[in-house]
């Protein structure tokens, strides 16, 4: 299988040379361009998510031997969630080499958080199948780097924290409402409102819907905690 200079450069950034380049090709193939003879990366994504989870669980246990399960779980979630995987994908330029269909290309697929996160998980699985668990673990630990040691002691995301705040006061879970979506398809801006049934509302905007929801939740939680004081 001939490997282009672009893919050679990506493997250098990734830090792994594939002995089975067909695994790399599959990890880079999005469902929007797959065919019967060119499978997409969804099955690899499924496997990579599990490999990443095991590596992060081991790393967190080693990093804090006194932490309880309740303390470790939110840190784990922060390290394996799509946003973190997408951040690592951007770090190594994964989006630049993804194989996408025309529709995804036209709507900025190379920058989409969910798409990048899925592709990063698929890449982890490809390395695991190509070279085994130890190599995959070393690659994950290297690429995640200081994220493991730097994950907050209380790493719950803002939406989870706001929901727990509401539940502790006998309130239903917060609602998230998309107020608007502006900008071109390849660079949208979402405006999201976080709402409590008691009437309190906060609004935030971001380039991804999930990011806007988190930002709105954080703003509302900060407001409500301040009013508790």
**Of 49, 118, 157, 202, which is the active-site residue?**
49
- Whether 164 is catalytic: no
User: What was the pLDDT predicted at 158?
Assistant: 84
Residue 37 confidence class, pLDDT cut points 50, 70, 90: confident
CA distance 63 to 50: 20
CA distance 97 to 9: 10
Distance of CA 144 to the CA centre of its chain: 12
Mean pLDDT throughout 103-109?
83
Task: Report the 10 Å Cβ neighbour count for 198.
Answer: 11
Nearest by Cα to 14 from 150, 127, 112:
127
Helices then strands, counting H and E runs in the chain, come out as: 11, 3
State yes or no: pLDDT of 94 exceeds 70.
Answer: yes
pTM for this predicted structure: 0.73
**Beta strands 201-206 and 175-182: pairing type?**
unpaired
Residue 17 confidence class, pLDDT cut points 50, 70, 90: very high
Nearest by Cα to 55 from 155, 147, 118:
147
State yes or no: pLDDT of 115 exceeds 60.
Answer: yes
- Whether 64 is catalytic: no
State yes or no: pLDDT of 177 exceeds 60.
Answer: yes
Nearest by Cα to 212 from 184, 183, 178:
178
How far are the Cα atoms of 25, 122, 125, 128 from residue 34, in angstroms, in the given order?
11, 15, 18, 22
Mean pLDDT throughout 193-219?
91
User: What was the pLDDT predicted at 106?
Assistant: 82
State yes or no: pLDDT of 153 exceeds 80.
Answer: no
Query: Coil, strand, or helix at residue 36?
Result: coil
User: What was the pLDDT predicted at 155?
Assistant: 57
**Of 40, 45, 104, 121, which is the active-site residue?**
121
């Amino acid at each position: 299988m001939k490997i282009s200079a672009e893919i050679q450069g990506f493997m250098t950034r990734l830090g792994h040379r594939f002995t089975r380049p067909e695994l790399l090709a599959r990890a880079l193939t999005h469902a929007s361009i797959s065919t019967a003879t060119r499978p997409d990366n969804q099955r690899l994504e499924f496997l990579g998510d599990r490999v990443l989870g095991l590596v992060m669980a081991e790393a967190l246990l080693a990093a804090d031997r006194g932490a309880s399960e309740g303390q470790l779980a939110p840190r784990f979630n922060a390290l394996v969630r799509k946003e973190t995987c997408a951040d690592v994908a951007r770090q190594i330029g994964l989006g630049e080499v993804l194989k996408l269909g025309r529709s995804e290309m036209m709507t900025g697929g190379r920058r989409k958080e969910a798409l990048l996160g899925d592709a990063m998980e698929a890449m982890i699985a490809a390395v695991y199948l190509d070279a085994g668990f130890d190599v995959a673990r070393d690659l994950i630990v290297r690429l995640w780097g200081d994220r493991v040691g730097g994950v907050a002691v209380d790493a719950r995301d803002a939406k989870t924290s706001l929901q727990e705040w509401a539940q502790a006061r006998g309130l239903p879970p917060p609602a998230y409402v998309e107020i608007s979506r502006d900008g071109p398809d390849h660079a949208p801006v979402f405006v999201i409102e976080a709402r409590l049934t008691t009437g309190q509302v906060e609004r935030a905007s971001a380039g991804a819907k999930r990011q806007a929801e988190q930002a709105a939740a954080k703003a509302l939680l900060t407001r409500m905690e301040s009013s508790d004081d």
